[in-house]
Amino acid sequence: MTTQILPTDHPELLRKGVEEAVRLLLAGEVVGLPTETVYGLAADALNADAVAKIFSVKERPTFDPLIVHLPHKSELDTVADVPEDIAPAIKQLVDRFWPGPLTLILPKKPCVPDIVTAGLPTVAVRASANLVFNRVARKLERPLAAPSANRFGSISPTSAQAVMTELGGRIPLILDGGACMHGLESTIIKVRNVGETKPRFVILRPGPITPEDLKPFGRPFFPGKTKPYSSKSPDEPVEGDGIESPGQLESHYAPRTPLRVVDSPEEFTPEPGKTYALLSYRGEMDDGYMDLTDWKQIQVLSPGKGKLPEAAVRFFFALRELDKLGVDEIIAEPVPLHSGIGIAIMDRLRRASHPFRTP
């Protein structure tokens, strides 16, 4: 199959691209589309056969459920039943964060095929803020199931070219919407009313909507923690926590090259005869470690003073670049956890550091 990339950076090109995507989606095909987080591989969420293609194209195990994207935020009740006890909280979250990078886990409506939810009674749902994605969803007038447009377990794509590298030859079309605004996948939460004054938000996957962002509306918890998240003593979800998201496998987002997070790169000692690349946060030369090793390449996530949102945007792109080099190991510097998006970056970095696929 030939994979076509269509640009969307002019109103007429956008119109043509959207038309072609909708035509393919109506015919039960899968299409690569930009979202504000990462590129998605979209299919008509209510067409089980089309959704099955997502799993085969991605080589994704069918126990890993997909996110359903609504054409409009007012359409939540077309795919989910919002329990009465959390309805006010859900309304507040939808009003505040949709369209945007927040995914809610809610009881599903029968119209959502089992293949979408991997047989679970719940559905993951969000509304994307990306213009191109939105145009397609609204023209189609149907919800779109869309996981990240990478092969299972691999690095999420944040550009049309990255989707091409991952899935070229397997899908008919990618709409090019440029680089993704956030660069990390949406925050996934489950809302619980446990009789406290404020509902609990269990953060199943940290992302661009941070615990601080969620705080005005409820009490954010990481799974397995007994205390709510506090920015005064920021913690990250620890390995082995009761992770409820079935797709939240420990090894994920993995480059082919082994990756190691070192607490202080100054103390890293290269093994003779081995080649290394460095994923640095601020990349400050006077920190010393930049010249300590003969790095084949250094990718700096946020040069200068270091800004976490910038690091998030560049993260998967930088990882993809370093993975092309064929070095023995990628050495990564941790990012600070003082803001919620730092937690999301560290979550991806930690998962990327597990040996997952054999080259």
Among 92-100, 184-192, 263-271, 275-283, the segment contacting ligand TXA (CB under 6 A): 184-192
Nearer to ligand TXA among residue 177 and residue 247 (C-beta): 247
Contacting Mg ion (CB under 5 A), which of 8, 37, 130, 148?
Answer: 148
Place of tokens 């913690």: 235
Pairing of strands 200-205, 122-126: unpaired
Q: What is the DSSP-derived secondary structure letter of residue 310?
A: H
Per partner kind, with CB cut-offs from 5 to 8 A, the member of ligand TXA, Mg ion, none near residue 21 is none
Nearest residue to Mg ion, by Cβ distance, number only: 148
Beta bridge partners of 300: 280
User: E strand or H helix at 117, and its extent?
Assistant: helix 114-117
Among residues 359, 357, 358, 313, the alpha carbon closest in space to that of 335 is found at 313
Angle at 156 between CA 145 and CA 76, to 5 degrees: 25
Site for ligand TXA, residues 35 to 54, rule: CB under 6 A: 35, 37-38, 40
Encoded one letter per residue, x for contact with ligand TXA by CB under 6 A and - for no contact, window 62-81 reads --xxxx--------------
Pairing of strands 40-44, 31-33: antiparallel
Site for ligand TXA, residues 6 to 35, rule: CB under 6 A: 35
Encoded one letter per residue, x for contact with Mg ion by CB under 5 A and - for no contact, window 291-330 reads ----------------------------------------
Angle at 28 between CA 25 and CA 29, to 5 degrees: 65
User: Is residue 127 within the footprint of ligand TXA (CB under 6 A)?
Assistant: no
Nearest-approach distance from CB 3 to ligand TXA, in angstroms: 18
Among residues 121, 348, 270, 286, the alpha carbon closest in space to that of 278 is found at 270
Per partner kind, with CB cut-offs from 5 to 8 A, the member of Mg ion, ligand TXA, none near residue 346 is none
Among 27-35, 144-152, 303-311, 317-325, the segment contacting Mg ion (CB under 5 A): 144-152
Encoded one letter per residue, x for contact with ligand TXA by CB under 6 A and - for no contact, window 217-256 reads ----------------------------xxxx--------
Distance CA 101, CA 22 (A): 23
Per partner kind, with CB cut-offs from 5 to 8 A, the member of Mg ion, ligand TXA, none near residue 125 is none
Among 148-156, 198-206, 289-297, 299-307, the segment contacting Mg ion (CB under 5 A): 148-156
Distance CA 333, CA 280 (A): 5
Buried-exposed string 182-217: b where 16+ CB fall within 10 A, e elsewhere: bbbbbbbbbbbbeeeeebbbbbbbbbbbbbebbbeb
Nearer to Mg ion among residue 47 and residue 158 (C-beta): 158
User: Is residue 187 within the footprint of Mg ion (CB under 5 A)?
Assistant: no
Contacting ligand TXA (CB under 6 A), which of 18, 124, 209, 277?
Answer: 124
User: Is residue 186 within the footprint of ligand TXA (CB under 6 A)?
Assistant: yes
Nearer to ligand TXA among residue 64 and residue 114 (C-beta): 64
Under a CB-based contact definition with an 8 Å cutoff, are residues 329 and 259 in contact? yes
Nearer to ligand TXA among residue 114 and residue 328 (C-beta): 114
Distance CA 128, CA 36 (A): 7
Distance CA 6, CA 10 (A): 11
User: E strand or H helix at 220, and its extent?
Assistant: strand 219-221
Nearer to ligand TXA among residue 246 and residue 309 (C-beta): 246
Distance CA 167, CA 15 (A): 24
First to last CA, the chain: 24
Nearer to Mg ion among residue 192 and residue 252 (C-beta): 252
Among residues 166, 150, 351, the alpha carbon closest in space to that of 259 is found at 351
Per partner kind, with CB cut-offs from 5 to 8 A, the member of Mg ion, ligand TXA, none near residue 75 is none
User: Is residue 185 within the footprint of ligand TXA (CB under 6 A)?
Assistant: yes
Q: Which residues bind ligand TXA (CB under 6 A)?
A: 35, 37-38, 40, 64-67, 101, 103, 105, 117, 120, 122-124, 146-148, 185-186, 188, 204, 245-248
